[in-house]
Structure 1
Amino acid sequence: MLKVSDIIKIKIDKIVFGGEGLGYFNNFAVFVPMSVPEDELEIEIISVKKTYARGLIKKIIKASPERVDSHKFTFEDFYGCNFAMLKYESQLKYKKLMVEEVMRKIAGLDNIQINDVLASEDIYNYRNKIIEPFSVYDSKIITGFFKRKSHEVFEVDENILNSKLGNKIIKELKEILNKNKISVYDENTHRGILRNIMIRTNSNNEAMVVIIINSNKITENIKRVLLKLRDSILEIKSIYISLNSKKTNTVIGEKNILIYGEKSIKENINGIEFHISPTSFFQINVKQAKRLYDIAINFFDNIDDKYIVDAYSGTGTIGMIMAKKAKKVYAIEIVKSASEDGVKTAKENGIDNIEFINGAVEKELVTLINNNKKIDTIIFDPPRKGLETSIIDKVAELNLKEVVYISCNPSTFARDIKLFSEKGYSLKKLQAVDMFPQTSHVETIALIQRVF
């Protein structure tokens, strides 16, 4: 029987949903993060449960041909990216298999075979938003990622997912900070100033810098550092100081003070100009987001005549794109600032057939129906937990012919597809999209139609 700290040899058979490799030791399942099918490994067992164990790689005995590097194997080696050890075509292959597996196991669709995952044009440096915590290492101020399952920060020479401009700014900022010795926040003692750095960039290579500090007022030395940063990097169009003196894991403070430049930077999607502020919800990988939205819109039949509900609309990105074609869009979102951003964007872009409704989807959908508003179809883009059963019941009650469902979590998506099928709906089209290369995340878009 395996126990913690045992060192064993194992061959990896497959990658399971969630992105970990699975192998067997004397017929006992062992999950190994950062492992690849066909890897032969020496691992150390870190936990043992009734039916499975977990282990970390100590050494690669024989590397899988799908590996990018046979000498690197830790989470930290790959900059905190849990799929970066795989060649890109293999990442896509396993994402496809993961989606098929949950659709079989959870949705009960035994014979499902999906199209290839839509690859991302950029597989590195695609993120337009990054947040890194500050820490001190070797009496130097660093930023980086938290080590797996800990709050210890490790530094990387370059964040492989951050935009190139974002990386340039972080590098320069650290150099300035280390010359100006400013204290770094310690979450155990709740002392020190520097908490996090957030950088947002757009397709025009412009940046917004937000520095989060443990204070309830702006300190002059931080302001001075940031203005020095602006002088070094001309692409910076906006600088905020965010005040967060709470003992919390929430990064952004309640007060964000603009100390330089524009209130927001802009991003253009399908001819619509979106404002991005420190707290805006916005797709991380814009090129892929455009493709995702186009697929979703093409799933609708005769969109020109339709009254559509955009449920969990965020700032209404997809709602506004649809509004350019549809008769009318109702965008429902629970976060007030996101709805307000949407109203502003629609106004600025002259889109007048979209109505923003601030509230919970479950409640506001019922209100629309009770007010006899015409609804032909709904597009869902819910959080990771998926849809409430009451919403699926409502769709069936309304006898909607079709709905489009965008999901960032294949397992809750598969569960919801099963619930839809119990209400007389079936999955007609399914496309997986790689929004986050180098990670095990995969986005799916589905067309669900009434069959009886």
Structure 2
Amino acid sequence: MNKRKNSGYRKSGKNRNKSEKQYGQQPTARRSRTGGKSQGANDGRERSKKTVTAEVSCSGLTNDGKGIVQWKGKRLEVAHLMPGETAEVLVSTTGRTVKTELKRITNRSKDRVKPPCSYYYDCGGCQLQHMSERAQKRVKQETVEALMKSFGKPEPIMAMDHPYDYRNKSHTTFGLNKNRQIIGGLYAQNTHDIIPMDRCLIHDPKADEVVNTIKNMMKSFKMQPYNEDTRRGFLRHVLVKVGKVSGEIMVVLVAATSVFKGKNNFVNALRKTHPEITTILLNVNNRNDSMVLGDQEKVLFGKGTITDTLCGLKFDISAKSFYQINPVQTEKLYKKAIEMAQLTGKETVVDAYCGIGTIGLIASKKAGKVIGIELNKDAVRDAIGNSKRNGVKNARFYQGDAGHFMVQMAARGEKADVVIMDPPRSGSDEAFLSSVVKLQPKRVVYVSCNPVTQERDLKYLVKNGYAVESIQPVDMFPQTNHVETVVSLELKL
């Protein structure tokens, strides 16, 4: 998963919340939406740009789901092209930069489907909606198998029965269109141009309903969306978090200023339409950077957090805390990870990168002792609170660098039987991996949201005395190119 543990996450043209534009039976060329300011700066470059139409055949896919083709001896990548297909592709060259755009498919794959989302080809958040569910599973399975072939054959991927409506967190940006009407939606791919949308097919439907209500309320409350260029206006984003089991809903209004005229009336009107909302917060972000959430936060209604249940335990979720986006698949992933740990009730388990303590607390039910380590102090506070909330007596959480913590454990002669690690997309670094080797746990369970960096890290562990026992892919984000993997390793020294 694309993780930023317990922090405000960054906005991007490649938002993980998506949709798409209906292109009928075949995708066609899409014009880029370039703002006036950047276009003026690129006039000279545009004059030297050359675009030709090339006929190509797709021989395979990249790790991020793009089609691989050959053109004039060069390997090119084409979005939305599938293996075995032939197509006409626009190839644009500017100096040494080569860009491609799918123009027309001349020979279609039997696995190609019409994307169900009307914003798909503009949004870019989903990358695989043009593939059947069967093809998506196959592509992700083959991706993991290719990366992990030196370690063994992965198990069949754990897919999702209903691969839509799964995201328990959504983020919507607001602005004005050229007719000065308020719009809300997601950024077009690689731009800051907002695609107006009412529904994203992988969002929780209730979250989209709340956002649409807010958008419709803005005019009557004379609430202006924030303009990044003029730095005027009030509302920048709306973040919604939904407890999939509890049904609780958090709404975070991200504003450019703390001055919120008519806030009580606004909150009352929103709750009248959506009584299921259990808490509303005002987050103030007056920075001019890519972070969505600011440092200032005020609770306007409710307790400021929501609670949800995962693997039988209750977790408190704040606006900034990291909590798995797809809880249905997360339960499958965590149960598999704990199964791989082979716990008997006596083991000492280190939960590195523990976040708010989810996997460590779930593992505590089968372990002798759990030690969770997390760099973010707010996450540690949440983990301790979650431990008390669930009556867990055999788990302790510490703020600090997990690698340093484990080196100190080894220096004191302390042992750990199992290390569970769940790093961000960049994977671990050699300093952390060397600390695992120094501590010498009998077993390592490596949960990864990026099998590319995981494969790199596994090479280090294997080189230093560990052997891969099993590899399990999990489809955490259907319709996207992302795939999660959990790998178990055993010490062989």
* CA pair 8-333 structure 1, distance change in 2 beyond 3 A: same
Indicate the RMSD between aligned Cα atoms, in angstroms: 2.2
- Long gaps (5+) in structure 2: 1-48
The equivalent residue for 1:305 is 346
Query: Which letter does structure 1 place at the counterpart of 2:320?
Result: T
When normalised by structure 2's length, the TM-score is 0.85
The equivalent residue for 1:81 is 126
Specify the SS of the correspondent of 1:177.
Answer: helix
The equivalent residue for 1:10 is 56
The equivalent residue for 1:294 is 335
When normalised by structure 1's length, the TM-score is 0.92
Q: 2:107 aligned to 50, 58, 62, which one?
A: 62
8 Å CA contact 1:320, 1:351 repeated in 2: yes
Partners in 2 of 1:151 and 1:131 — Cα distance?
14
The equivalent residue for 1:233 is 274
* CA pair 433-164 structure 1, distance change in 2 beyond 3 A: same
* CA pair 73-171 structure 1, distance change in 2 beyond 3 A: closer
* CA pair 123-70 structure 1, distance change in 2 beyond 3 A: closer
8 Å CA contact 1:177, 1:225 repeated in 2: no
Partners in 2 of 1:345 and 1:17 — Cα distance?
36
Query: Which letter does structure 2 place at the counterpart of 1:132?
Result: T
The equivalent residue for 2:185 is 144
Specify the SS of the correspondent of 1:305.
Answer: coil
Specify the SS of the correspondent of 1:298.
Answer: helix
Greater relative contact order structure (CA < 8 Å, 6+ sep) = 2
8 Å CA contact 1:43, 1:57 repeated in 2: yes
Q: How does 1:27-38 map to 2 (within 5 A)?
A: 27-38=73-84
Partners in 2 of 1:400 and 1:31 — Cα distance?
42
Q: 1:419 aligned to 456, 460, 465, which one?
A: 460
Q: Does 1:114 align with 2:154?
A: yes
8 Å CA contact 1:20, 1:35 repeated in 2: yes
Deviation track 1:298-320 (CA, whole Å, cap 9, x = no partner) reads 00224311001000000010100
Partners in 1 of 2:362 and 2:260 — Cα distance?
42
The equivalent residue for 1:391 is 432
Partners in 2 of 1:411 and 1:47 — Cα distance?
29
Specify the SS of the correspondent of 2:136.
Answer: helix
Partners in 2 of 1:222 and 1:56 — Cα distance?
46
Query: Which letter does structure 2 place at the counterpart of 1:120?
Result: M
* CA pair 349-361 structure 1, distance change in 2 beyond 3 A: same
The equivalent residue for 1:94 is 139
Q: 1:221 aligned to 262, 268, 271, which one?
A: 262
Q: Does 1:264 align with 2:264?
A: no
* CA pair 80-395 structure 1, distance change in 2 beyond 3 A: closer
* CA pair 344-192 structure 1, distance change in 2 beyond 3 A: same
The equivalent residue for 1:431 is 472
- Report which stretch shifted further, 289-298 or 52-61: 52-61
8 Å CA contact 1:307, 1:327 repeated in 2: yes
Q: Does 1:206 align with 2:243?
A: no
* CA pair 70-118 structure 1, distance change in 2 beyond 3 A: closer
8 Å CA contact 2:122, 2:188 repeated in 1: no
Partners in 2 of 1:12 and 1:70 — Cα distance?
20
- Long gaps (5+) in structure 1: none
Partners in 1 of 2:448 and 2:478 — Cα distance?
16
* CA pair 74-209 structure 1, distance change in 2 beyond 3 A: closer
Partners in 2 of 1:332 and 1:47 — Cα distance?
48
Report the Cα offset of residue 49 of structure 1: 8.2
Specify the SS of the correspondent of 1:314.
Answer: coil
8 Å CA contact 1:146, 1:154 repeated in 2: yes
Partners in 2 of 1:313 and 1:432 — Cα distance?
21
Specify the SS of the correspondent of 2:58.
Answer: strand
The equivalent residue for 1:406 is 447
The equivalent residue for 2:39 is none
* CA pair 119-271 structure 1, distance change in 2 beyond 3 A: same
Q: Does 1:254 align with 2:299?
A: no
Q: Does 1:22 align with 2:68?
A: yes
8 Å CA contact 1:17, 1:102 repeated in 2: no
Report the Cα offset of residue 72 of structure 1: 8.9
8 Å CA contact 1:310, 1:331 repeated in 2: yes
8 Å CA contact 2:123, 2:195 repeated in 1: no
Q: 2:409 aligned to 368, 371, 374, which one?
A: 368
Partners in 2 of 1:297 and 1:387 — Cα distance?
20
8 Å CA contact 1:308, 1:378 repeated in 2: yes
* CA pair 61-223 structure 1, distance change in 2 beyond 3 A: farther
* CA pair 260-39 structure 1, distance change in 2 beyond 3 A: same
8 Å CA contact 2:353, 2:423 repeated in 1: yes
8 Å CA contact 2:280, 2:301 repeated in 1: yes
- Report which stretch shifted further, 367-376 or 91-100: 367-376
* CA pair 438-275 structure 1, distance change in 2 beyond 3 A: same
Specify the SS of the correspondent of 1:6.
Answer: strand
Q: 1:328 aligned to 356, 359, 369, which one?
A: 369
Specify the SS of the correspondent of 1:357.
Answer: strand
Query: Which letter does structure 1 place at the counterpart of 2:447?
Result: I
* CA pair 398-49 structure 1, distance change in 2 beyond 3 A: farther
Report the Cα offset of residue 420 of structure 1: 1.2
8 Å CA contact 1:118, 1:432 repeated in 2: yes
